[in-house]
Structure 1
Amino acid sequence: MTLRELLLMAIPASVALGGGVLAALWHPGHRARSLIQHFAAGVVLAAIAVELLPEIEREHAPGPVLAASFAAGCLVMFGLKLLTDRLESHPGARTGIATGLMLAVFVDVAIDGFIIGAGFAAGGETGPVLAVGLSVELLFLGLALTSESPGGWRIVGVSAALGVVVLAAAAAGKLLLGGASHAVIGGALASSAAALIYLVTEELLVEAHQGQEPETPVSTLVLFAGFLAFWSVQLVGRG
């Protein structure tokens, strides 16, 4: 693992900490959180469409391996959802945040980190692109946690822990998959695609549409703006 790769992996960790600091200083209303979540969803969708799926194709892994890996990723995320729902009713004594929510957040962040590590193992620009794309999600996480229960500066400690988890998981993913066969890397990326699709459809957008205020067409525009922003960076980089 090179120093450049380590520094790029540290970007999401730094953003996670920054999100915690922002959450300690600013407690946004539902409308602002919804717009942030829509933008993050657009960015993650762009990361899947622009970088992750093309990289899976470039790996030339066998079709059955990719299909089975994608299905396995779906089942893992579904199992996580069931576990989260079961633990959701147990509040955290110190943070005031539901235990189920905290478990889901830390597991999601670990999966995100592993996805980043898999991207670096695949080579090319996949790792850096995923690191930047998923950083937007991590910036949102701090605001999401305080929306459940404002925790003041305690949320900064939680966000710092999230940063450590995503960095450690990214490094582990790179070390475990470095030098792996095309089938293994392709399978890991296919599972990652399933996890990211789950993140968008079952977390970001579901959370964004909860609340008393009705959604407006502006939210949809913000989602597309997130997609376009990520894609534009890609297009400029390739030019």
Structure 2
Amino acid sequence: MATGLLLATFIDVAVDGFIIGAGFAAGGETGTILAIGLSVELLFLGLALASDSIRGWKIVAVSGALGLTVLGCAILGSMLLAQASHDTIGTVLAFSAAALLYLVTEELLMEAHEVEEKPFFTLVLFAGFLVFWAIQLFGQG
């Protein structure tokens, strides 16, 4: 088992959990939207991790540990930021947005140009944006 990859995955999952907790501390629908959005990312992260180096019962153990890490860090983030000022919560969420944008621009976009681009991929990308936008609109109504 690749220890470095596993450690990096747990750090990423812990940060994602803290981001979700910050969203719940901000109030409104922010935490729910972040949880839904990051759960999609965590699904693919878990699938990539499991298909890379883990076999058998270890998949169940690592998946459970990843889930508990997300939950624990989300609760920790929510508790730590529950009484924080709006500026502090805004700073944490801004840092989170910058980190996620860095991930997209640095890693995913560079890899996207290695594969032949098809119109269907663009359709799926925009459909994803529309789904999360619709969730946010229905949550406000």
Q: TM-score, normalised by structure 1?
A: 0.53
Q: Distance in 1 between matches of 2:118 and 2:56?
A: 30
Q: Which residue of 1 aligns with 2:64?
A: 160
Structure 2 CA distance for partners of 1:186 and 1:129, relative to 1, 3 Å: same
Q: Which residue of 1 aligns with 2:7?
A: 103
Q: CA RMSD in A?
A: 2.2
Query: Where does structure 1 lack aligned partners over 5 or more consecutive residues?
Result: 1-91, 93-97
Equivalent position amino acid for 1:227 in 2: F
Do structure 1's residue 175 and structure 2's residue 63 form an aligned pair?
Answer: no
- After TM superposition, give the deviation of residue 162 of structure 1 in Å: 0.7
Equivalent position amino acid for 1:163 in 2: G
Structure 2 CA distance for partners of 1:234 and 1:182, relative to 1, 3 Å: closer
3-state SS, counterpart of residue 39 of structure 2? helix
Count how many residue pairs are aligned between Structure 1 and Structure 2: 141
Q: Distance in 2 between matches of 1:204 and 1:153?
A: 30
Equivalent of 1:229 in 95, 117, 131: 131
Greater relative contact order, per chain length (Cα 8 Å cut-off, separation 6+): 1
Structure 2 CA distance for partners of 1:140 and 1:169, relative to 1, 3 Å: same
Query: 1:142·1:155 contact (CA, 8 Å) conserved in 2?
Result: no
Structure 2 CA distance for partners of 1:155 and 1:209, relative to 1, 3 Å: farther
Q: Which residue of 2 aligns with 1:145?
A: 49
Query: 2:29·2:139 contact (CA, 8 Å) conserved in 1?
Result: no
Query: Where does structure 2 lack aligned partners over 5 or more consecutive residues?
Result: none
Q: Which aligned segments of 4 or more residues in structure 1 are displaced greater than 4 angstroms?
A: 203-210
- After TM superposition, give the deviation of residue 150 of structure 1 in Å: 5.7
Q: TM-score, normalised by structure 2?
A: 0.84
Q: Which residue of 2 aligns with 1:16?
A: none
Equivalent position amino acid for 2:17 in 1: G
